[in-house]
Structure 1
Amino acid sequence: MESLKVALVFNHVEKSIQVADQLKHLLVTSGNQIDQDNPDIVISIGGDGTLLSAFHLYSHKLDQVRFLGVHTGHLGFYTDWRDYELEELVDTLCNNQEANVSYPLLDIVIQYRDDRADKHFLALNESSIKSIHRTMVGEVFMKEQFFESFRGDGLSVSTPTGSTAYNKSIGGAVLHPSIEAIQLAEIASLNNRVFRTIGSPIVVSKEDWIEIKLPQGSECLITIDQFNIQQEEVASVIYRVAEEKIRFASYRHMDFWHRVREAFIGEHQRRNEI
């Protein structure tokens, strides 16, 4: 058995800290190393927010690392293991080191009107654009082709795994993560005799891209997963399916639709026998 280098990322909840200490002990006594700088496996301990933080900490090493989540609270979409299953987790980790599943990511490029260089980001869940002080105005392009003029609270672009997060709350569709696509959803668009948008979510393939052009002088808030970036003089934001993917250790990876049902339906709706 080859020794693994493992990084632990955990929130500051007491339960998560205790689990991190237990997991560190089990990993080391089973012959593995704790390596926060150059890990093979990144284990997040907490919830989906902790996993998002872990992703952004190691987003520059996606070709080297795999992720695994332990949840210490409510069921999450990225956390397959519970805090009382640590011995089983370490045993499985040591004896099945190759299993993994890959999910699409969102590639984001912010372009400016001045001489600032473009900024490039990756998102695991989503990115949104909102105006800070007034109704957001933007022109939406699909590839180089003008699609619509948007006025409203903002626009959100999500990955398939992020489709169950903010995207779902604003009326977006839930996409299976095996689909290499991104989704554009409107946030409270203005639709009347003067202004008109398509008014429904749009799913864009990996061969296409979305560009949102903003008017001169606009001040906007751009979110990238859980991070907020206040920006001035943004000319446009370009979204596409990223070339990079996130890899999860899939030792007993929970079925996506099972996750969706458990998170949003649970036991409130039972199957009627016909």
Structure 2
Amino acid sequence: MRISIVHNNNAKSLEANQKLTAGLAAGGFVMDEKRPDVVISIGGDGTLLSAFHRYADQLNSVRFIGVHTGHLGFYTDWRDFEIDELVEALKNDSGESVSYPLLDVLADYEDGTTSHYLALNEATLKRPNGTMRADVYIKENFFESFRGDGLCVCTPTGSTGYSKSNGGAVMHPRLDALQVTEIASINNRVFRTLAAPMILAPDEWMITRPEAFQDYLMTIDQFTITPQMVTEIRFRIADERIHFARYRHMHFWDRVEDAFIGAKQ
């Protein structure tokens, strides 16, 4: 088995990386940063997002494992004090995995060029220096004229992040669906939006056609992009999926309870 490790630089992660590297070497595993079978992320969800984007062109052949050294980890099944157990699980690996949907983002620009992105958590389009005005279509059907700070489109696994902060629902990761949440929408007698999160079915997609301004910001997970003059952005469920090597499973709603509610009274 070929393994690559991606880690952040905090003290716990560096210590865990050192121990894991030694355990993998003793176990006869091959370290391969270019074409790994398994990518192990050491840190938090941000580190795993970085690992995902680094290997986004190999999703059909790579499985991910998250080792948690921070305060919150929805994508991490292992703790930094469980390195020995993780190495043993890798030795007994039989290819088991669980997969989750990704977000496909296709942006068209005024000069006729396009950009294509994959997101694990969410993508947003914002206009930080003024009101964003955009027509919104579901599939090819006009739905509404949006006025506000921006729009957020998330995957089920990303629904516990920025989307939730904007009033979105928490979605179970087994759902093949996308969620659209508004960011500070304007609703009055002149402008009217749905003003509620929308969950799109697997065969649906959302298109936004913003008015022509130069100061849009687009985010893809933790990356911020200053695009050219945007004419249209299409959001849909990607053909690709992310695969996690799953040797044990913590129930999703237990993760949610642990992250947002804490110990039972």
TM-score (normalised: structure 2): 0.98
Cα offset, 1:21, TM superposition: 1.2
Q: Is residue 208 from structure 1 mapped to residue 189 from structure 2 by the alignment?
A: no
Match of 2:144 among 148, 154, 162: 148
User: Which range moves more in the overlay, 9-18 or 58-67?
Assistant: 9-18
Q: 5+ residue gaps in structure 2?
A: none
Q: Name the residue aligned to 2:123.
A: 127
Tell me how far 1:217 sits from its aligned partner: 3.3
Identify the match of residue 61 of structure 1 among 53, 58, 68.
58
User: In structure 2, which of residues 228, 241, 250 is the aligned counterpart of residue 254 of structure 1?
Assistant: 250
Q: CA deviation at 1:255?
A: 1.1
Matches within 5 A, 1:5-154: 5-115=2-112, 117-154=113-150
Q: 2:89, 2:83 → 1: CA distance? A: 10
* Match runs of 1:177-192 below 5 Å: 177-192=173-188
Amino acid at match of 1:203: I
CA drift of 1:253 comes to 2.2
For residues 211 and 26 of structure 1, the distance between their equivalents in structure 2, rounded to whole angstroms, comes to 48
Provide the secondary structure at the position in 1 that maps to 2:64: strand
SS of equivalent residue, structure 1 residue 139: strand
Shift, 1:218, TM fit: 4.2
Q: Secondary structure at the match of 2:73?
A: coil
Distance (Å, rounded) in 2 between the aligned partners of 1:244 and 1:119: 17
SS at match of 1:237: strand
Match of 2:233 in 1: 237
- Read off the aligned partner of 2:103 and give its amino acid letter: L
Check the 8 A contact 2:110/2:228 in 1, yes or no. no
Report if aligned partners of 1:131, 1:218 keep a CA contact under 8 Å in 2: no
Q: Give me the whole-angstrom Cα distance separating, in 2, the residues matched to 1:253 and 1:69.
A: 12
Q: Is the 8 A contact 1:209 1:238 kept in 2?
A: yes
* Partner SS for 2:89: helix
**Which letter does structure 2 place at the counterpart of 1:60?**
D
SS in 2 for 1:60: helix
Q: State the distance in 2 between where 1:75 and 1:186 align.
A: 25
Cα distance per residue 1:121-177 (max 9 Å; x no partner): 000000011013111111100011000000001100000000000010110000001
Normalised TM-score (structure 1): 0.95
Q: Judge which range, 53-62 or 251-260, deviates more.
A: 251-260
Deviations 1:203-232, CA, capped at 9 Å, x for gaps? 001101000001123430000000000123
SS in 2 for 1:232: coil
Say which SS state the counterpart of residue 70 (structure 2) adopts.
coil
1:196 deviates by 0.1
Deviation at 1:94, TM superposition (A): 1.2
Is 1:172 aligned to 2:168, yes or no? yes
Give the aligned length: 265
SS in 2 for 1:172: coil
Match of 2:220 in 1: 224
Specify the SS of the correspondent of 1:96: coil
What RMSD over aligned residues (CA atoms) do the two structures have, in Å?
A: 0.9
Which deviates further from its counterpart, 94-103 or 154-163?
94-103
